[in-house]
Amino acid sequence: MPEVRFRQGDAFAKGGRERYALTPHTQRDFEHCLRDSADPRVPLASRAARAYLDVIFIHPFPDGNARLAVLTLAYVLESEGVRLDRVGPLQTTRYADDAAGAADLADLVSILIRSTHQRAIRPRH
């Protein structure tokens, strides 16, 4: 596609069970959330998890939001020099207002970062 625009209506997920309303502020709020992903005062894993969740739950585009969420997470990590060698089991089946689920995802990203670093320094046989 030559150009993909921010969605123009409500978005739905989980077979239509979740609705993400479009408001006059949705796009601005999304851009603000993405800027927050560069805040060095917040731990890297939390920023990456937040950016992932922002894409998932704001659903900025008509299609491809799950793929974009993983790419966004990778971009936030890469901007700090971290490249995961594995991303599985990275996924979320939580609801947008699930603070504990968001914290769990940040913990998982932190584990993936540590595991990647450990595999990088471990000698191969």
32-81 tens-digit pLDDT: 999 999 999 999 999 999 999 999 889 999 888 988 999 999 999 999 99
Coil, strand, or helix at residue 13?
strand
Percentage of the chain beyond pLDDT 70 is 90
Contacts of 54 (CB under 8 A, 6+ apart): 30, 33, 34, 37, 72
Instruction: Supply the pTM of this predicted model.
Output: 0.85
DSSP state of 85: S
